[in-house]
A and B are shown apart, each in its own frame.
Chain A
Amino acid sequence: MLNSKIPQGSLENKWNDYKGHVKLVNPSNKRKLEIIIIGSGLAGASAASSLGELGYKVKVFCFQDSPRRAHSIAAQGGINAAKNYQNDGDSVFRLFYDTVKGGDYRAREANVYRLAEVSANIIDQCVAQGVPFAREYGGLLSNRSFGGTQVQRTFYAAGQTGQQLLIGAYQSLERQVALGNVTMYSRHEMLDIVKIDGKARGVICRNLITGQLERYFGHAVLLCSGGYGNVFYLSTNAMGSNATAIWKAHKKGAYFGNPCFTQIHPTCIPVSGDHQSKLTLMSESLRNDGRIWVPKKKDDKRRPSEIPEEERDYYLERRYPAFGNLVPRDVASRAAKERCDAGYGVGNSRMAVYLDYASAIERYGRGEAGKHHLENADADTITKLGKEVVKEKYGNLFDMYAKITGEDPYTTPMRIYPAVHYTMGGLWVDYELMTTVEGLYCLGEANFSDHGANRLGASALMQGLADGYFVIPYTIGNYMADEIRTAAISTDHPAFVEAEKEVSDRINALMNIKGSQSVESFHKQLGKIMWNKCGMARNEQGLKEAIEEIRQLKKEFWSDLRIPGGINELNNELDKANRVADFIELGELMCIDALHRRESCGGHFREEMQTEEGEALRDDEHFKYVATWEYKGDHEWKLHEEDLNFEVAKPTQRSYK
């Protein structure tokens, strides 16, 4: 039933063959074809500009006040590409292999290979747009390492890589707006998909300033709305990041793939109190030079500076000598949780570990002293020189840490703890990025596709831009070529009227509850359930409890919610209520998926399924598939399995030892 449309032929030739045979649309016909894009992050903005350049009529919607604010902007560390500029043995195959292995063999080989293939084009495109990547003194591009790899293939712009890439895509988007190919609708939130004769033909949006519902037609609809980490309330996502677009699509027939695959990022600033509204990531690039440790003694209350070297446990270096501090994110996160749960955590909450830069500062300082021929440099000079190097590489991250915690990371080790960061799950898509609804596509983090059960660092930016710049411009032609005879459908069509009425009824229902609890308090309750029972470690009993608790919470939400203000005006509480209502339903599906997957893989750790050493224990015999869920009605889903065939990267027990 699920047709992933993977082209025939050898892995290396699939994408080339596909491009050579895909249907084309001639330029004069493109001008008559309309495309709707939801979201203006890396995937949305890159798709919008590329499709606009091709001549399609594009409409882009974002809930922020400008497309430049999409949360891709907050990505810090970098973007991977198989350029092999460092001559350290990198290749398309290695990037492919690292990604499949890093994803714990739960991603589709053909998609991942294509991603690795186009990765090099992304860097070329971005440089041509004026993205100011970091450079060496010779004027060539600089690289750094990231977790889960042994080569240097990560391109970066200080700790602001996402910002620079997004601004590049945003500028290209605005150029298409100026040329009249793209129309931009800011402060608009998509609240439903309109389907006509089984195909996606438009959307219902709410203008967040006036509160009016608006109807828009498109021959195809692209969802580029990002991930759903905010199900957990506390995450590194932006406050507005939400699942509403993909959830509405799901309820209209788009299957949801691997909803329980969540990435918990190992290096975030720990929670400091109940008031906390979000968590802040400290880039994975910090693990390049920083060393992670906890005291060897349980419940050690000494300051870090008072703990001598021999009483420190550099547990990642101890457990995983081959990769050390650069193990993949899921492994690093679980190891931190294990140490803290065992009583070795640090800080007031004892739920943190140290990320220490002392030895990096000394190493860089010695290097600099050598460069300047300071033969007998004293310790202070070396520290001073080393701090300068660290400042150039990671200055903005250190500043951010200092502002949030009030501590100086140059002299005191940073305290870090894992936090929800990314969702590998998302709408199921085929090789062409189309969902199970015809004409409805899903790109970037919003889809389930390329990262399996665990995403490697610096691969999210790569995937968002690959989907938008280099995949969808080809694959959408295959659908649009058959649409050239379809005239634009009037938004007075009954399907639009009905969809708008459904949205309007729901908004009225939310406003009329007139209960006593705020949206925020429901969101916090949901987050607590999810984090405790569907977070870094999951077990059967906890998940069963979570499902019950979420169902209960949903009842309470729909009977005791309070939203002040009116409908026809800017109303942030109403915006949030729409999103949280969907998060609650999605949370249930995540728990159902986590419960059904009786294996541990990547970020999904079932406590019942682990090796004697506490590593994730996969069950390829029973779970080598994408769990794809069809919405059947309230609290009801049907599972479809897409079997994964590994022809090239044969599944093995993942080892970073």
Chain B
Amino acid sequence: MDHHTMSLTLQVWRQQNANARGKFVTYKVDDISPEMSFLEMFDVLNEKLVNEGSEPIAFDHDCREGICGSCSMHINGRPHGPWAATTVCQLHMRAFHDGDTIVVEPWRANAFPVVKDLVVDRSAFDRIIQAGGYISVNTGNAVDANATPIEKTHADAAFAAAACIGCGACVAACKNSSAMLFMSAKVAHLSLLPQGAPERKSRVLDMVAQMDKEGFGSCTFTEACEAVCPKEISVTNISRLNAEYLVAGLTVDK
């Protein structure tokens, strides 16, 4: 393990609230250990700001294990920063060098308005799920869990899609601010399982309608979403969604 420390320059987006005008503010941080996580580096900066009597930078974070999906920083033009398959909270300062300048912005998308500094409002994702991202089964109605065997390949593919953490990096990376990767992961997860079959058609139609209503853009298959996804959700889910949508659109019974 190396024990050198780094001095860095940060350019961070500061915005008092949703209605205020934002701007970049430059900060210097010293004695940053390569073993720190990116957010711990922000903790150091915030502690310094508090001690100086100024307001710390607001950012979303919670589990710091890469699973809750809260953290959402656009670092040097890339959602979640330079490491592949990694959330900001799992990004470590080993990824940077002494003297680096790092630019940190919030997610940029009309459907994710800025709340304060680096915090954005992602409630549009919850509303997309409300539109149909579930299986309608009340508690207590279930049959034995092994009553329906599920082919392992399907179960594994459903799991891979269900690994989505709802962070919104896919939207932030997309030039159209499309939510297709997020939504397709849910559609694929549920349509790959026999339990999800009865609602396949209404689910995909309703979720797509909600996505449009929230102001997300359309998909032009640039695949930037997959490149930045911390959980490596595949764009093949988008193909699956398109197939589901086409079939549903052509055959829906109403």
Asked if residues B63 and A238 are in contact (CB atoms below 8 Å), the reply is: yes
- How close is A472's CB to chain B, nearest CB, in angstroms? 11
Asked if residues B1 and A83 are in contact (CB atoms below 8 Å), the reply is: no
- How close is A568's CB to chain B, nearest CB, in angstroms? 10
In the complex, residue of chain A having the shortest beta-carbon distance to the beta carbon of B125 = A66
Asked if residues A74 and B129 are in contact (CB atoms below 8 Å), the reply is: no
Name the B residues within 8 Å of A167 (CB-CB).
162
Asked if residues B159 and A164 are in contact (CB atoms below 8 Å), the reply is: yes
Q: Which of A3-11, A171-179, A325-333, A419-427 contacts B (4 or more CB under 8 A)?
A: A171-179
Asked if residues B70 and A564 are in contact (CB atoms below 8 Å), the reply is: no
Jot down 23 A-B pairs with beta carbons below 8 A, ordered by A. A67-B126, A69-B68, A124-B142, A129-B135, A129-B195, A130-B158, A132-B156, A135-B149, A139-B150, A158-B159, A164-B159, A171-B134, A171-B135, A172-B134, A172-B137, A186-B123, A275-B36, A277-B40, A564-B50, A564-B54, A570-B119, A572-B56, A573-B50
- How close is B180's CB to chain A, nearest CB, in angstroms? 19
> Complex formed: what's the CA distance from A163 to B92 in Å?
23
List residues of A (133-187) whose CB comes within 8 Å of B's CBs: 133-141, 157-158, 160, 162-164, 167, 170-172, 174-175, 177-178, 184, 186
> Complex formed: what's the CA distance from A179 to B227 in Å?
36
Name the A residues within 8 Å of B159 (CB-CB).
132, 134, 157-158, 164
Name the B residues within 8 Å of A128 (CB-CB).
135, 137, 141-143, 195
Does chain B have a CB within 8 A of A321? no
Does chain B have a CB within 8 A of A198? no
List residues of B (47-68) whose CB comes within 8 Å of A's CBs: 47, 49-51, 53-56, 58, 60-68
> Complex formed: what's the CA distance from A97 to B55 in Å?
53
Asked if residues A171 and B70 are in contact (CB atoms below 8 Å), the reply is: no
Asked if residues A275 and B43 are in contact (CB atoms below 8 Å), the reply is: yes
List residues of A (40-76) whose CB comes within 8 Å of B's CBs: 46, 49-50, 53, 64-71, 73-74
Name the A residues within 8 Å of B39 (CB-CB).
277
Which residues in B have some Cβ–Cβ distance to A below 8 Å? Answer: 1, 16-17, 33, 35-37, 39-40, 43-44, 47, 49-51, 53-56, 58, 60-70, 83, 85-86, 90-92, 94, 115-116, 119, 121-123, 125-126, 129-131, 133-146, 148-152, 155-156, 158-159, 162-163, 165-166, 189-190, 193, 195-196
Name the B residues within 8 Å of A273 (CB-CB).
33, 35-36
Asked if residues A518 and B130 are in contact (CB atoms below 8 Å), the reply is: no
> Complex formed: what's the CA distance from A83 to B146 in Å?
10
Name the B residues within 8 Å of A520 (CB-CB).
43, 47, 50
> Complex formed: what's the CA distance from A399 to B135 in Å?
31
In the complex, residue of chain A having the shortest beta-carbon distance to the beta carbon of B95 = A403
Does chain B have a CB within 8 A of A322? no
Does chain B have a CB within 8 A of A406? yes
Does chain B have a CB within 8 A of A276? yes
Q: Which 5 A-B pairs have the closest CB atoms?
A: A139-B149, A171-B134, A124-B142, A128-B142, A132-B159
Q: A69-B62, A127-B145, A141-B145 are in contact. Are A163 and B1 (CB under 8 A)?
A: no
Asked if residues A277 and B37 are in contact (CB atoms below 8 Å), the reply is: yes
Name the B residues within 8 Å of A65 (CB-CB).
60, 70, 119, 121-123
> Complex formed: what's the CA distance from A470 to B121 in Å?
33
Asked if residues A64 and B195 are in contact (CB atoms below 8 Å), the reply is: no
> Complex formed: what's the CA distance from A73 to B63 in Å?
9
Name the A residues within 8 Å of B138 (CB-CB).
53
Which residue from B50, B91, B142 sits with its C-beta under 8 Å from A562? Answer: B50
Asked if residues B145 and A83 are in contact (CB atoms below 8 Å), the reply is: yes
Interface string of A411-423 (1 = CB under 8 A from B): 0000000000000
Asked if residues B130 and A178 are in contact (CB atoms below 8 Å), the reply is: yes
Name the A residues within 8 Å of B142 (CB-CB).
121, 124-125, 127-128
Q: A128-B195, A570-B17 are in contact. Are A139 and B63 (CB under 8 A)?
A: no
Count residues on chain A whose CB falls below 8 Å from chain B CBs.
82
Does chain B have a CB within 8 A of A217? no
Q: A160-B67, A277-B64 are in contact. Are A66 and B136 (CB under 8 A)?
A: no
Asked if residues A130 and B122 are in contact (CB atoms below 8 Å), the reply is: no
> Complex formed: what's the CA distance from A125 to B1 in Å?
47
Name the A residues within 8 Å of B63 (CB-CB).
69, 71, 73-74, 238-239
Does chain B have a CB within 8 A of A616? no
- How close is A541's CB to chain B, nearest CB, in angstroms? 33
Asked if residues B126 and A66 are in contact (CB atoms below 8 Å), the reply is: yes
Name the A residues within 8 Å of B152 (CB-CB).
135-137, 139
> Complex formed: what's the CA distance from A483 to B241 in Å?
47
Asked if residues A400 and B65 are in contact (CB atoms below 8 Å), the reply is: yes
Asked if residues B196 and A403 are in contact (CB atoms below 8 Å), the reply is: no
- How close is A211's CB to chain B, nearest CB, in angstroms? 11
> Complex formed: what's the CA distance from A284 to B136 in Å?
33
Asked if residues B86 and A49 are in contact (CB atoms below 8 Å), the reply is: no
Name the A residues within 8 Å of B131 (CB-CB).
178
Asked if residues A403 and B166 are in contact (CB atoms below 8 Å), the reply is: no
> Complex formed: what's the CA distance from A272 to B63 in Å?
18
Name the A residues within 8 Å of B195 (CB-CB).
127-130
In the complex, residue of chain B having the shortest beta-carbon distance to the beta carbon of A175 = B134
List residues of A (462-508) whose CB comes within 8 Å of B's CBs: 469-470, 473
> Complex formed: what's the CA distance from A70 to B165 in Å?
12
> Complex formed: what's the CA distance from A158 to B160 in Å?
10
- How close is A606's CB to chain B, nearest CB, in angstroms? 32
Asked if residues B90 and A403 are in contact (CB atoms below 8 Å), the reply is: yes
In the complex, residue of chain B having the shortest beta-carbon distance to the beta carbon of A167 = B162
Asked if residues B56 and A573 are in contact (CB atoms below 8 Å), the reply is: yes
> Complex formed: what's the CA distance from A49 to B139 in Å?
8
Name the B residues within 8 Å of A163 (CB-CB).
67, 163, 165
Asked if residues B193 and A130 are in contact (CB atoms below 8 Å), the reply is: yes
- How close is A50's CB to chain B, nearest CB, in angstroms? 4
Which residue from A69, A140, A473 sits with its C-beta under 8 Å from B70? Answer: A69
Name the A residues within 8 Å of B64 (CB-CB).
238-239, 277-278, 280
Q: A128-B141, A130-B196 are in contact. Are A140 and B134 (CB under 8 A)?
A: no
Asked if residues B115 and A209 are in contact (CB atoms below 8 Å), the reply is: yes
Name the B residues within 8 Å of A276 (CB-CB).
40
Contacts A65-B123, A157-B162, A209-B115 supplied; 5 other A-B pairs, CB < 8 Å: A64-B62, A66-B166, A71-B63, A137-B152, A570-B115
> Complex formed: what's the CA distance from A184 to B127 in Å?
11
Most buried by B among A53, A69, A83: A69
Asked if residues B145 and A123 are in contact (CB atoms below 8 Å), the reply is: yes
Asked if residues A570 and B116 are in contact (CB atoms below 8 Å), the reply is: yes
Name the B residues within 8 Å of A133 (CB-CB).
145, 155
In the complex, residue of chain B having the shortest beta-carbon distance to the beta carbon of A468 = B139
Asked if residues A406 and B94 are in contact (CB atoms below 8 Å), the reply is: yes
Name the A residues within 8 Å of B166 (CB-CB).
66, 68
Which residue from B1, B133, B143 sits with its C-beta under 8 Å from A124? Answer: B143
> Complex formed: what's the CA distance from A170 to B143 in Å?
21
Name the B residues within 8 Å of A124 (CB-CB).
142-145
- How close is B10's CB to chain A, nearest CB, in angstroms? 16
In the complex, residue of chain A having the shortest beta-carbon distance to the beta carbon of B52 = A564
In the complex, residue of chain A having the shortest beta-carbon distance to the beta carbon of B191 = A130
Asked if residues B83 and A132 are in contact (CB atoms below 8 Å), the reply is: no
- How close is B173's CB to chain A, nearest CB, in angstroms? 19
Asked if residues A406 and B134 are in contact (CB atoms below 8 Å), the reply is: no
In the complex, residue of chain A having the shortest beta-carbon distance to the beta carbon of B85 = A399
Name the A residues within 8 Å of B165 (CB-CB).
163
> Complex formed: what's the CA distance from A46 to B148 in Å?
23
Most buried by A among B91, B155, B190: B155
